[in-house]
Amino acid sequence: MDLNTHDDEIALGERLEELIGVGKALSSEKNFDRLFEIILSAAQRLTHADGGTLYRVCDGQLRFEILRTNSLGLAMGGTTGVAIPFDTIPLYDPSGRPNSRTVVACSVLQRRTINMDDVYAAADFDCSGTREIDGKTGYRSQSFLTVPMENHEGEIIGVLQLINATDGATGAVRTFSRLEQRLVESLASQAAIALTNRNLIDQLEHLFESFVGMLNAALDEKSPYTGAHCQRVPVLTMMLAEAASNAASGPLASFHMSDQDRHELKIAGLLHDCGKITTPVHIVDKATKLETIMDRIHLVHARFEIVKRDAELTLWRGLSEASRSEPDGSAQARFHAFLEALEADRAFLERCNAGTEFMAKEDQERVRQIAGRYQWRIGDERRPLLSDEEVRNLTVSRGTLTPEERAIINGHIVSTIHMLEAMDWPRHLRNVPEYAGGHHERMDGRGYPKGLTREQMSVQARIVAIADIFEALTAKDRPYKRGKTLTEALTILGQMKLDGHIDPDLFDVFLRERVYERYAQAHLDADQIEKVDPASIPGCPPDLFP
């Protein structure tokens, strides 16, 4: 194109504006499919090309990414969802020779632009594929402009091929001008840099997610149920977040998430318990009240056997002395009664060793009485059946942890917050510490570690809190309890809403959108899943289901 007229100067200005605008769009777009479309569409507009194809270099092959032909109404690849049915194009043949007979491969291998007036007249290239496609579609491919996409590191990452430049006035096919070639070369360079940068960013994000996965794998090696918990909580978190984001009315109608918001929340869900890497495993996985590195109930059983042995020795010693102070058989009767009481107390302590949601005061007192009722002997030393520390463990009223052990467990959230706040987060992940660190806070301000109220917490942090609780209630792999059924878990969660523990609006969404059902189908056992009557759940508003 020669710039001999005022109209030509205006056209050039418009094309330069187009090129500048494309550069801005390329720098802000994150989706690869949309990037491909921006690049190809801009190249077609700059050159008035009827068609075009963008290829990427992948493992020695050129892979079709996007294909467009305006006059045929043909659009494949990119965001269309229509797969391109053509095979990849090899850069080298099976013997390792360069594939210089194919235009796009030659452009990549020789790192040069190829501008052809008429592809059918090009003797240097094998255009049989183009002829075959034209034969099937009735199209006539003529002028070709093939431009390699070289990034700032000197790497050819793809190739842009435009077909049939057209005259704006007549629509006739013409040759791509030298100016158009220079413009497309500039666009291809910008596009290559944008795609490379986007790929580097994706690789860094994949690296970070791999690091998160590695941390959770380490947790899984240390405590399998903790690792599984860290995988399931983000799943449930995202289910509830999507349901809240889709709310068209009510208190959460203004809550919406972008793809970036979703990614940030998912990372927070994956890392919400990362501080447990610092928690001693014998506390994290404490299945019974007497467990440390082993279940000490076996030591208690051994002491009972010693007490039983001593009682037998006393009986036979008395019989051997032929005592006549009481009727025959009375000693044996007392001995058998003693053994029955001994076995009953042993079985009782066995039951007490298992964690329960509530231990009655009278059961706690019976443990203390048993501790003082029997003594066992090592040499000449007599000791009570249970030590003070064992009594403290066996009389824990809820679960298996003593107050000191529970404080250590609770400390994991402090470790989580410290670990996450110590990281230099990029802007799009800067809220991860807050989202992950709030799942033990309560809406009434009585949670830990910061005692935050509902108003001081983000919606996302409140979502993670509900997901964490529901997963813990229904988890079937915990060593110290069975997984609760849906009705049992929702009943507890509903009571937590009434007690000011969890966010009431999110709980209503959890019920109304039946988030629990979708989660249950994927992660609960069949015997945990039953038909839930929402009206029977505490805290369920009467008008929640129209």
What is the structure's pLDDT at 410?
73
The answer to whether residue 210 sits within a structural domain is: no
Question: Do residues 402 and 396 make contact, with C-beta atoms less than 8 angstroms apart?
Answer: yes
Give dist(CA 507, CA 518) in Å, integer.
15
Task: Give the percent of the chain with pLDDT over 90.
Answer: 46
The answer to whether residue 175 sits within a structural domain is: yes
| Pair (411, 389) in one structural domain | no
The answer to whether residue 18 sits within a structural domain is: yes
Question: Is 205's pLDDT higher than 80?
Answer: yes
| Pair (413, 392) in one structural domain | no
In this prediction, residue 3 has a pLDDT band, given cuts at 50, 70 and 90, of: very low
* Closest among 64, 35, 69, 37 to 52, alpha carbons compared: 69
* CATH code at position 254: 1.10.3210.10
What is the structure's pLDDT at 7?
44
Plot region of 138 (φ>0 → left; ψ -120 to 50 → alpha; else → beta): left
pLDDT digits (tens, 9 = 90+) for 269-324: 999 988 887 777 777 667 777 777 777 888 888 888 888 888 887 777 666 655 55
* Closest among 53, 45, 43 to 186, alpha carbons compared: 43
The answer to whether residue 343 sits within a structural domain is: yes
The answer to whether residue 214 sits within a structural domain is: no
Residue 485, domain extent: 223-284+404-536
- Cα angle 110-116-117, degrees, rounded to a multiple of 5: 170
| Pair (25, 47) in one structural domain | yes
* DSSP label of 544: S
Question: Do residues 196 and 153 make contact, with C-beta atoms less than 8 angstroms apart?
Answer: yes
* CATH code at position 29: 3.30.450.40
Query: Which residues, in sequence order, are CB contacts of 314 under 8 Å at separation 6+?
Result: none
| Pair (241, 303) in one structural domain | no
For the chain, what is the mean pLDDT?
A: 86
pLDDT digits (tens, 9 = 90+) for 508-544: 999 999 999 999 999 998 999 999 988 899 999 888 7
For the chain, the domain total comes to 3
* DSSP label of 102: S
What is the structure's pLDDT at 306?
82
| Pair (78, 63) in one structural domain | yes
The answer to whether residue 187 sits within a structural domain is: yes
| Pair (453, 352) in one structural domain | no
Among 22-26, 143-147, 425-429, 477-481, top mean pLDDT goes to: 143-147
| Pair (236, 257) in one structural domain | yes
Tell me the CA distances in angstroms from 108 to 91, 120, 192, 242, 388, one per residue in order. 8, 21, 13, 44, 79
| Pair (474, 330) in one structural domain | no
What is the structure's pLDDT at 517?
94
Phi, psi of 275 (to 5 degrees): -65, -15
The answer to whether residue 473 sits within a structural domain is: yes
Q: Tally the residues of the chain.
A: 546
| Pair (337, 449) in one structural domain | no
| Pair (68, 175) in one structural domain | yes
Question: Do residues 226 and 496 make contact, with C-beta atoms less than 8 angstroms apart?
Answer: no
Exposure string for 273-295, b = 16+ CB within 10 A, e = fewer: bbbbbebeeebbbbbbbbbeeee
pTM of the model: 0.66
| Pair (98, 168) in one structural domain | yes
| Pair (143, 185) in one structural domain | yes
pLDDT digits (tens, 9 = 90+) for 465-491: 999 999 989 988 666 667 899 999 999
Q: Which residue has the higher pLDDT, 304 or 234?
A: 234
Question: Is 156's pLDDT higher than 60?
Answer: yes
Last residue of a domain, one of 142, 165, 200: 200
Question: Is 227's pLDDT higher than 70?
Answer: no
Question: Is 444's pLDDT higher than 50?
Answer: yes
Last residue of a domain, one of 200, 235, 256: 200
* Closest among 434, 429, 430 to 457, alpha carbons compared: 434
Query: Which residues, in sequence order, are CB contacts of 536 under 8 Å at separation 6+?
Result: 487, 491
Last residue of a domain, one of 379, 399, 419: 399
The answer to whether residue 291 sits within a structural domain is: no
